[in-house]
Amino acid sequence: MKREILNKPNQLIGLKTTEVITATQRKIYNVFLKTAQQEVKFGILKNKDIDEDKTYWFEIDYDIAHNIAGANNKNLNYIEDEMKRLIKIMVEITDKKNGTWEDAFSLLPRIKKEGKKYKFMLIGNIVKALREQNYFTHLDLMRIQNLSSQYSVILYELAIKYQKVEIPKMSIEKFREITNTENKYSTMKGLRRRVLNPACEEISEKTDIILDYKTEKKGRRIAYIKFKLERKNDESISNIEEKKVKNKEQIYSQQVLELFQLLPSLEQVEANKRELAKLLKEHSLKYLKADIDYTKKAQPDNFMGFLKASCQSGHYSNAELEKEKHKEELLRQRKEEERRKQKLEKKIKQKAKEKAYENYEKLSAKTLEQYGQKYEALPKMLKDKITKKEFIIGALEEETEQEFRELLM
């Protein structure tokens, strides 16, 4: 496997951001950093001074970006939406002594697409750090290509950062800060189940390291996390590469991709495509769409767990679907009634016209004279457009239509 190396500045690992950075966003951003690093070290910026207060443009073919980030099998619109959302993500640099912020900046000030290239902007202090590499982590982007959880990417980068030394013991508060979970999974049980355990398991299964952890108490409260890293042997790594090839060959149906796009952005990870594919084997697309919508409204801690439980329990969204079905039936009935009325109205007009011609031939001289007086009372402009006979037949037609309608009421 070809290596794609990024010497990532340590200050960009474990950043405190205003919003959650998804796994796709982290991988794409790493690819952008690698591209910029190549440019400042070997390209036209090689011998130029980097001004920390300026911004710099870089570009990359989007096929290359998708390939290195492992995003080939994802929906293109989803990937590009994730890129654009990077613009909204702010980084805060805080004073370690008093905890107040002293600097803030956007991870990606600007991005645009021209032809088959992405052109992106980085601020000067990031570009300078990419060139100087005073303190950096040697990351092979192909190793994290297949990670689907944002927490897996965060912890893998952290583990590689400290691979030559022991990963420092970390307070729960610090861990929540770097994983952006200060306001999520309030209990330690939830943090283990939704963040720590899945991330360590995925890293150990899909990368070149085995990551484990243990917790330490302070009094009766769990206060610290201690990570343990172990390097895999060459045979284990070879097995991982074979799995990656198989995963890349996985092609999902249009229905799976359609359901995937309905998931909340945090749930749009590769593993959930497999879960949706399994669910589609036993449940209809219509029911799964309704269940996803219902689960979004319920906002459970474990989205996919709730969704699968709904399917296994006969669909929590059943009542909603029945309401929708009732609405559709009422709408169908209204449309049918409207079609019936239109058909009847057309028939009334046709019959009234035929009857008007018949009645005209039977009119007495006196009745003809009465209708003729009404015709003569018309403005000259109207009399120029219609003959007396047409006027009388039209009047008879209107009267006959009214009679037919009254009979049908």
Lowest mean pLDDT among 114-118, 220-224, 265-269, 321-325: 321-325
380 pLDDT exceeds 60?
yes
The mean pLDDT value for 128-150 works out to 86
| Pairwise CA distance, residues 125 & 50, whole Å | 8
The pLDDT of 141-165, averaged and rounded, is 89
Q: 79: which 2 tokens?
A: 């990937």
Residue of 51 and 248 predicted with greater confidence: 51
215 forms beta bridges with: 225
CATH number of 149-250: 1.10.10.10
The pLDDT assigned to 321 comes to 55
By DSSP bridging, strand 110-114 and strand 5-9 are unpaired
Residue 109: pLDDT band with limits 50, 70, 90: very high
Domain borders along the chain are 1-145, 149-250, 251-316, 341-408
The tokens of 290 are what? 């309704």
CA 354 to the chain's CA centroid = 62
Q: What is the DSSP letter of 383?
A: H
| 310 vs 349, higher pLDDT | 349
Check residue 138 and give its pLDDT: 85
Chain position carrying tokens 């709904």: 310
Q: Which residues contact 232 (CB under 8 A, 6 or more apart)?
A: 208, 209, 210, 240
- Please say if the pLDDT value at position 336 is more than 80: yes
Report whether pLDDT(43) > 50: yes
Taking alpha carbons only, the member of 153, 154, 9, 10 closest to residue 71 is 153
User: Span 332-360, mean pLDDT?
Assistant: 87
The residues facing 117 across adjacent strands are 61, 114
Residue 145: pLDDT band (50, 70, 90) is: confident
Q: Which two tokens stand for residue 145?
A: 């290509």
**DSSP-based three-state secondary structure for 269:** coil
Cα 165 from Cα 168, distance rounded (Å): 9
Tokens of 284: 């209809």
CATH of 1-145, one of 2.60.120.10, 3.20.20.110, 1.10.10.10, 3.90.1310.10: 1.10.10.10
Given a cut of 60, whether residue 302 has pLDDT beyond it is yes
Per-residue pLDDT reduced to its tens digit, 310-334: 787 766 556 555 556 656 777 888 8
Q: Quickly count helices (H) and strands (E) in the chain.
A: 17, 10
Residue 107's nearest CA partner among 94, 121, 118 is 121
Could you tell me the sign of the dihedral formed by the alpha carbons of 147, 150, 155, 161, in that order? positive
What pLDDT score was predicted for residue 234? 66
* 148 secondary structure, DSSP code: -
Question: Residue 404 is which amino acid?
Answer: F
Q: Tell me the Cα Rg of the chain.
A: 35
What type of residue sits at position 288? L
Q: Where are the beta strands (DSSP E) in 194-325?
A: 209-218, 221-231
Alpha helices in 216-282 (DSSP H): 234-248, 254-262, 270-280
Determine contact, residues 118/57, Cβ cutoff 8 Å: no
Question: What span, in angstroms and rounded, lies between the C-alpha atoms of 384 and 369?
Answer: 19
- CB proximity list for 14: less than 8 A, separation 6 or greater: 154, 157, 158, 178
Residue 249 has pLDDT above 50, yes or no: no
pTM: 0.57
Q: Integer distance in angstroms from the first to the last C-alpha of the chain?
A: 81
Span of 53-57, 143-147, 236-240, 263-267 with lowest mean pLDDT: 236-240
Give the model's pLDDT for residue 323: 56
Residue 245 binned pLDDT confidence (cut-offs 50, 70, 90): very low
Could you give the CA distance from residue 231 to residue 233 in angstroms, rounded to a whole number? 7
Contacts of 361 (CB under 8 A, 6+ apart): none
Instruction: Give the total residue count for the chain.
Output: 409
Give the helix/strand (H/E) hosting 118: strand 117-123
